[in-house]
Structure formats: C-alpha cells, structure tokens
Amino acid sequence: DGGITQSPKYLFRKEGQNVTLSCEQNLNHDAMYWYRQDPGQGLRLIYYSQIVNDFQKGDIAEGYSVSREKKESFPLTVTSAQKNPTAFYLCASNQGFTYEQYFGPGTRLTVT
Amino acid sequence: AQKVTQAQTEISVVEKEDVTLDCVYETRDTTYYLFWYKQPPSGELVFLIRRNSFDEQNEISGRYSWNFQKSTSSFNFTITASQVVDSAVYFCALRTSGGYNKLIFGAGTRLAVHP
C-alpha cells in the first residue's frame, strides 16, 4: 500500500542530545514537509522540500535541520539548540501545489 | 495577512445530533485552496476535502457536507447524524497560490460525540 511511514511512534531523549526522526513515502511525491503540533494548537511548518537536494525553512526552523538525498526520504533532526523540542511531529507529502498533503502517523518526541 | 480561525475550541454532542464546525479565513489572494482534515486519537491527519476559490458549490459526501461562502470568507463543515466515530479534532487549512505549497492551519476544533 502506498503511504507515508514515520518511525518511531514514540521517542524519548535526554536534553542536550540530537535526535533524528524518520519519514519515508512511496507515493512518488516530489514535495515533502515537516510540521510540529503542540497541545491544543494547529500545525506549524518546520521545513519543506519541493525536490531532491533542495529544502527551505518554514515558520519555525530554528533548532531543526533536514536533508533530502532521496525522493522517498526526508529525515528531520531535532538539535540541542531547539529550546522546547517536546511535541508531536508530522511528516507530509504531495504532488503539485494544488493537491492536498497526505500525512504520516506522526512521532511523539519527549525530551527530559 | 493570511489566517485561519476556528473559533470553536471544543464541541460536545450526543450521537445522531447534527453539528457544524466553523472556519473563517483571511487572504488577499484571489486564487486559494481550502482544506478540511480530521485528526483521530491516533494522531494521523486524514484528508477530507479540498475546495478552490473559484468553486463555490457546496459539497455533500455521505453524512458530511461543506458550505463555502466567499462573501463571508467561511468554509463550514457539517456532520449530519453524528456518530461516536466522528470524535476527533478537525482542522481547517488554507493554501494560497503564491510562494511555496504552505498550508496555514486553524487551531482545530475538538469534537466529542457521546453515545
């Protein structure tokens, strides 16, 4: 089945450690996105990539980094510079700007 | 400025009641797209509908219907005869034609349907 996978579902880290969240899609979509969701709030865009080897900052990119070496993969690294990293992270993809974005199941990151 | 407002934070209904979720948007663009997503407790966002700014026809899909009114910048979502499985957080989102393919989300409305 085509879709987006994110792993792991739950992730726990100590403060000061970098952590990488995985996002893989087999929908053959060119564009991929990372969003952050905090309790009781909507989604906010962290980074997006419209094509392989190219990515752009979203609204809240500070403390995060990404890579897009393959069309199928768009990993997100939460660095120790991110001041409040505990959140629910959602990856999405789509094909063309008119089309809806499809979302993965999300990763819930807890940093203590 | 581009913005999506979902004024209803939480709604609680009893099964079989009809419920309307409000969405008001702001944009100066003449070409834009509106979306509704459902987020069940599992967390994954499920796409429900896309509507472009040139298509003001209302749409019905089973128990779901959407009312798009450009005059009031609203894109409301009605669930008829609600069921417990409709319990979720619902997000309205806006995508404009300029710039990258960014979705601007509202804060969401949490719908609880009780038996």
At residue A40, the pLDDT reads 79
- Model confidence band, residue B1 (pLDDT cutoffs 50, 70, 90): confident
**Contact with chain B for residue A45, Cβ under 8 A:** yes
**Contact with chain B for residue A10, Cβ under 8 A:** no
Nearest partner of B40 among B28, B48, B32, judged by Cα: B48
pLDDT, greater one: A97 or B70: B70
Count of C-beta atoms within a 10 Å radius of residue B23: 27
Q: Compute the distance between CA of residue A17 and CA of residue A41 in angstroms, rounded to an integer.
A: 26
Strands (E), chain A: 4-7, 10-13, 19-25, 31-37, 43-51, 54-57, 64-66, 76-78, 87-94, 102-103, 107-111
**Contact with chain A for residue B52, Cβ under 8 A:** yes
At residue B100, the pLDDT reads 64
% of chain B with per-residue pLDDT over 90: 75
Tens of pLDDT, residue by residue over A48-100, are 999 999 999 999 999 999 999 999 999 999 998 899 999 999 999 998 766 78
Distance between A10 CA and the closest CA of chain B, angstroms: 12
Q: Rounded mean pLDDT of B5-32? A: 95
CB A76 within 8 A of CB A64: yes
- Model confidence band, residue B98 (pLDDT cutoffs 50, 70, 90): low
B102 closest CB neighbour out of A41, A45, A104: A45
**Contact with chain A for residue B31, Cβ under 8 A:** no
Give the nearest chain B residue to A4 (CA atoms). B44
Tens of pLDDT, residue by residue over B39-56, are 999 899 999 999 989 888
Distance between A14 CA and the closest CA of chain B, angstroms: 24
- Model confidence band, residue A34 (pLDDT cutoffs 50, 70, 90): very high
What are the tokens at A94?
């789509």
At residue A107, the pLDDT reads 97
**Contact with chain A for residue B50, Cβ under 8 A:** yes
CB B7 within 8 A of CB B14: no
Omega before residue A8 within 30° of 0, cis:
yes
Q: Compute the distance between CA of residue A45 and CA of residue B93 in angstroms, rounded to an integer.
A: 12
Tens of pLDDT, residue by residue over A35-51, are 999 987 889 999 999 99
- Model confidence band, residue B20 (pLDDT cutoffs 50, 70, 90): very high
Contact A101 B47 (CB under 8 A): yes
% of chain B with per-residue pLDDT over 70: 96
Mean of the per-residue pLDDT values of chain B: 92
User: Is residue B101 predicted with pLDDT exceeding 80?
Assistant: no
**Contact with chain B for residue A98, Cβ under 8 A:** yes
B96 Cβ neighbours under 8 A, 6+ residues apart: B2, B27, B29, B31, B32, B33, B102, B104
A104 closest CB neighbour out of B44, B105, B107: B44
Contact B106 A97 (CB under 8 A): no
A7 Cβ neighbours under 8 A, 6+ residues apart: A22, A107
% of chain A with per-residue pLDDT over 70: 96
